Structure formats: structure tokens, C-alpha cells
Amino acid sequence: MDIGRLKEFCGEDWKRVNDRISNALKSDIVLLDSTNRMILSHSGKQLRPLLSLLVARACCDGSIPEDSIRVASAAELLHNATLLHDDVADESDCRRGEPTINSLMGPSVSVLVGDYWLVSAMNEIQSAEHFGPRLISIFSRTLTHLAEGEMLQLQKAQNGDTDEADYLRIIYCKTASLFEAAAIAAAISVNAPKEVEEAVGRYAVSLGLAFQIRDDMFDYSSGSGIGKPVGVDILEQKITMPLIGAFRNSTGQEEAEVRRQIGQIHEHPEYAGRILAFVREKDGISYAGKRIDDYVSAAVDAVSMLPETQASSYLKEMAYYVAKRKI
């Protein structure tokens, strides 16, 4: 699937989203304004606003209202706010192949700019003409999930005891919850029936989980072209799906030894290479790939209850794209 084709399909609505985002971020503070424009120049795939627009179009017969555009804009603003904050928490120097604001201007600037994007996202939702309280509640709940996910991930990294249920909760909170908010809020914005809201919510959660598992697989794949070296998650003591899959194909003694190495990775960074080799030897990548396929199937099943339109067809394509993407 070509992301550019989806943006072309969304046409004027896509332009409206980007215009709203740009306008929401304008400031007469030159440093803030130039920083925002620099971030916008490296916008990435913008899957979340695309998801919102496709869901809105799939759930209504005619043109979508301005509230749908607000929802899509808010989803992208909130996503980038979390990235700016994550870069500080993870001490990241590079994102999307470019230097982070954290590395260029320091953690204080990254946090402050992230706060600005966060407030801009909530202003978009607050300005909704219809269903405002429900939309605010959905995005507020997502903010709670994002904070909980970060703290749970930190707790589990310290303890070194992450299992599959822990991992799925973390990636739901940190990734899938925003996909879910973007989709459900879009359905609400066009006054879709409750059962449709629930269906697109199931779709988006499955899509988000598949997306993050695929992202975590890149940490074990050299030459993935995603702008970061392999083994970063291991060095940050994050136990993700490929390693969990490797544990399933190992003895209890082998698992305990790898978990011990992860616990000591800061003192012994050379353990990272051994853990990467362990995941390859125990076929953890294949296990992660199978879990992605499960979530893609669940996403396609959920969206199948929508009327057969070009928009709903593209939602299915988006699920397959997430499973096979290279970056």
C-alpha cells in the first residue's frame, strides 16, 4: 500500500487537516514557531490522522464535517507531543532518521514544545461543534493510558519480569490507545451508530498492537532503514515480543539467564549481542510475526461490518500495510 495514495484519496480533507495542524501551532515566539515548523517538515507517515479520515468517510455517506478534521488533527498533534516527551525519557538523539529536538536543543525545550503540541491537540477537541464532552473524555482517557504505559514499562524494565500480558498492556497504553481514540472519535464525529463505534475501536486497537509489534521487530533486524541501530530496546532493558517469543522456545534456565543479562545490561552492554543472537536462534522473530498476523486478521474482521466502500477497503489495506511495512 502506498501512503501517498491514501492521502490523495482523502484529497481536500487531507489538506484541511494539515492546515488545521499548522494553524494550531503558530506562535509569535520566533523560536517556538521555527521549532514547530522544523518538526512538521519531518512528519513521518501520519497514520493516525489518515486513520481518522478513513474511519469518518467509511461511517458516513456524504462529506465529513469539520469535527472530523479536528479529530484527525488532534490525533497527530497528540502523537507528536508524546514523541517529544519520549525522546527526553529515552534520551533519544535520532527519530525518523533526523536529530531530535532533545539532541539539538536540550530536554527542557523538547518537554516544553511537547506540552505546546499537547495543549494544541486538546484545543482542537475542545473546539468541536458537536459531541465535545465525549470527544474530550476519549482523548483524556488516552492521556491517562499513555502515562500509565510509560510508568509500567519503566517498572517492568527495572524488575526485568515483563511477560506477554505485561507487554501487550504496555503497547496498548503507549500506542494502540491513540489509534483507538483516533478511530472512535472519528466515528463519533459523524454520529455513527454505537455498534460501528465499537467495531472501529476493535479495528484500531488491533491495528495499533500490530503496528507496535512490527516496530519492535525492527530492533532485531539490521538494515531496516528506520533511523536507529539494532539492540536499542535491549540496552534500555525493554523486553518486547521477539524476545518473549524466544523465551517460549527456550528452557526456564535459558530464560532466567537472558533476563539476568538484561538486568545487568548497563554494566555489560556486550550482552546485547548475545541476546540478539538468542532471539534469532530461538526464532523469536517468527513468533512476533505470527502475533502480528493474528491482530491483522482481527482488524480486518472488525472493519468488515462496515459498508463496502473505498474508505473501508483502504482501512483493510492499512492493516496489511502495518504488518509488512519496512520502516
Specify the 3-state DSSP secondary structure of 99: strand
Instruction: State the chain's mean pLDDT as an integer.
Output: 94
Specify the 3-state DSSP secondary structure of 94: strand
Q: Give the DSSP H/E element, type plus range, for residue 105.
A: helix 101-105
C-alpha to C-alpha distance for 113 and 90, rounded to whole angstroms: 16
Q: Are 75 and 52 in contact (CB under 8 A)?
A: yes
Domains of the chain by start residue, with CATH: 3-324 (1.10.600.10)
SS3 content of the chain, % helix, strand, coil (to 5): 75, 0, 25
What is residue 327's predicted lDDT score, i.e. its pLDDT? 75
pLDDT in tens, 35-82: 999 999 998 889 999 999 999 999 998 899 999 999 999 999 999 999
Residue 313: CB atoms within 10 Å: 14
C-alpha to C-alpha distance for 30 and 47, rounded to whole angstroms: 29
C-alpha cell at 284: 523469536
C-alpha to C-alpha distance for 27 and 9, rounded to whole angstroms: 31
Q: Give the DSSP H/E element, type plus range, for residue 150.
A: helix 132-159
What is residue 326's predicted lDDT score, i.e. its pLDDT? 81
C-alpha to C-alpha distance for 55 and 188, rounded to whole angstroms: 10
C-alpha cell at 117: 503540541
Residue % of the chain over a pLDDT of 70: 98
Mean pLDDT of 124-130: 95
In order of 180, 194, 312, the CA distances from 268 in angstroms are 39, 52, 49
Q: Specify the pTM.
A: 0.94
94: region left, alpha or beta (phi > 0 left; psi from -120 to 50 alpha): beta
Please check the confidence at residue 230 and state whether its pLDDT lies above 60: yes
Q: Are 246 and 215 in contact (CB under 8 A)?
A: no
Strand partners, 318: none
What is residue 228's predicted lDDT score, i.e. its pLDDT? 55
Nearest to 251 by CA among 290, 295, 224, 281: 281
C-alpha to C-alpha distance for 172 and 213, rounded to whole angstroms: 11
Q: Place 221 in a pLDDT band, splitting at 50, 70 and 90.
A: confident
